[in-house]
Amino acid sequence: MKIEKTFLQSKVARRILALFIFCALVPILALAVVSFTRVRSELKNQNERQLHQSGKALGMSILERLNILEKEFTALCSNPVLSSRAFTRSTREKYTKDLNNRFKGLAFITHSEEFFPRFGQIQKPPGLSAQETEHIRSGKTLLLADTNGDNRRLYMMRFIDPKNRNQGMLYAEINTMYLWFLSENPRDILPYKTELIVLDDSYQLIYSTIPVPSSLRERPEYKMPRRGRGIFEWEYKDGGYMASFRSLNFKFNPVHPEWTVVLTVPNEVISKPMAQFKQIFPLIVLLSFWVVLLLAFVQIRRTTRPLEKLREGTRRIASGDFKTKVEIKSGDEFEDLSDSFNEMSRKIGNLIEELERFNWETLETLANTVDAKSRWTKDHSKRVTEKAVKIGVALGLGEDELNDLKKAGLLHDIGKLYIRDDILDKNVNLTDEEFKEIRGHSCEGERILRPLKIFDAYASVLPMVRQHHERFDGNGYPDGLAKEDISLGARILAVADVYDALISDRPYRSGMELERVIDIIKEEAGKQFDPVVVQAFLEVIQQEGVGR
């Protein structure tokens, strides 16, 4: 859509544009803020729920595998081969092959604390506390964690027969790769970029996929046993992390009956969807704003173009053109308005034509009234008007100027209505007083017509009526004007008036011959008459060819 340069010069266009922008921008911004806040909150909650669910699933899986290991270890205790002193090499190879993925090593400990490894490299167990000793004597499996140093180990210990402790016990090191699911693909267990940390109830590190600073193990969130789970954020090196922790309670150690499983993920992974949303969302908002602007421009165009056509139509009516129609095909109220406008224009045009016709008929009636005061001046005003209009055409006057000239021609002698009939019909020389009365008809005519000055159509007529007896050399009346100070219409009327007066019969003389009249007017060029007007008059006479 092409937008004109003057597109926003219209007040209506600017108002509609401002209204569209305001009505669109405020809801869009409000929606953007609400949506952004809600999406950010939802993404955060979603990540937290995902961490919670992943931590719960992983914790349950670890606890399940501990139970599996404990049952399998209990089953091993009932195998007399493992406690036999005649444990052969072939037997060792068989058990190594069967148990290697779950246990790194296995040993038999006699009641006199003699230590006999069965397979794998396994160290002697550490000293037990009184609670741990009581736990294993009660016939339960004891789970031990060696958290000293970087090489952390997990062990299981159990009496072969709790009722007959003289049979000794089995001691096994757990393959933590199996326990933490690392013997399989860890990516199938842990979510993307997620790290696993396991702590005991004294916050000693049992296992971790990343180096763990001491500050993480001292988090106060862990010291809330009634809760047993939670979410927190922490810093490590140059990055931030979000972490979810969950407590695991089990029956394998009375001293350390609880582990804490922590899943942690870098903030950059969590914020990645939000970063993508931040990139896309402003584009969506901007696109929405441009769509609103486009719709605003379309609506403004649909509104202002009919208004412009209607405004142009009113200008044509003001200039007197009532025939050109306003064509609007919008299918709405503007189209109905254009039809009403065209009908109004037609009726106004008809009314103006009637008024114009009535106006000219009125002017002709007035002219006839003036001319009827004397039989010698019958149709004088009409003849002067016709001649003056022809001179005006020869001078190249426009239609409006010719109309003014025609009005002035019909009304130029209207002041004679106040002159006595005996003076107008007197066949001898007039007295000075009578001549003075005759000369006053031009001023009297202006006075009569002065109320019509309020109409623009008659504003230029009054000077012609008043000045049609002025002379080009300044010796005329009533104001003694000269040359261009006299209106052009009055200079034209002066020639036409004198021409008709000389060529027509009067009570005191007969009408003159055309040649004599022409000679007189020629002689008066530059004196009584404007030479340019005289030249135009001669052209008119030449075109007419003969007399009056």
Residue with tokens 């939000």: 274
The domain segmentation of the chain, as residue ranges, is 1-307, 372-544
Please tell me the class of the 372-544 domain: mainly alpha
Q: Are 495 and 529 in contact (CB under 8 A)?
A: yes
Tokens representing residue 326 in the block: 């306003």
Using DSSP, state whether 184 is helix, strand or coil.
coil
- Tell whether pTM > 0.85: no
Report CA-CA distances (Å) from 51 to 57, 95, 193, 247, 264. 10, 39, 12, 14, 8
Q: Which residues pair with 443 in a beta bridge?
A: none
- Quote the CA–CA distance of 42 and 359 in Å, as a whole number: 83
* Helical residues (DSSP H) of 168-256, grouped into ranges: 176-179, 214-217
Q: What is the pLDDT of residue 548?
A: 42
Q: At what angle do helices 488-503 and 514-523 cross, to 10 degrees?
A: 140
Using DSSP, state whether 397 is helix, strand or coil.
coil
Q: What is the pLDDT of residue 142?
A: 92
CA 391 and chain centroid, separation: 63
Those residues whose C-beta lies under 8 Å from the C-beta of residue 395, and which sit 6 or more positions away, are 488, 492, 532, 533, 536
Q: At what angle do helices 514-523 and 531-544 cross, to 10 degrees?
A: 160
- Quote the CA–CA distance of 326 and 341 in Å, as a whole number: 8
* Helical residues (DSSP H) of 183-228, grouped into ranges: 214-217
- Quote the CA–CA distance of 443 and 28 in Å, as a whole number: 75
Phi, psi angles (nearest 5°) of residue 309: -65, -40
Q: What is the pLDDT of residue 245?
A: 86
In a structure prediction context, what are the per-residue pLDDT tens digits for the chain, which is 548 residues long?
A: 444 555 566 676 777 777 777 777 777 778 778 877 887 788 788 888 888 888 888 888 888 888 989 998 888 888 887 777 667 777 777 777 777 788 888 888 888 888 888 888 888 888 888 898 899 888 899 998 887 766 678 999 999 888 888 888 899 999 888 888 765 555 556 777 888 888 888 888 888 888 877 777 677 766 654 457 788 888 777 778 888 888 888 788 888 888 888 888 888 877 777 777 777 777 877 887 788 777 777 777 777 777 777 777 788 777 777 777 777 777 777 777 877 877 787 787 777 777 767 666 666 676 666 655 555 556 777 888 888 889 889 999 898 888 888 888 877 777 776 666 666 556 556 676 766 766 777 777 778 777 765 556 677 888 888 888 888 888 888 888 888 899 898 898 888 888 888 887 666 667 788 888 888 888 888 888 889 988 988 988 888 775 44
Element (H, E) at 241: strand 239-249
Q: What is the pLDDT of residue 547?
A: 45
Q: Are 106 and 118 in contact (CB under 8 A)?
A: yes
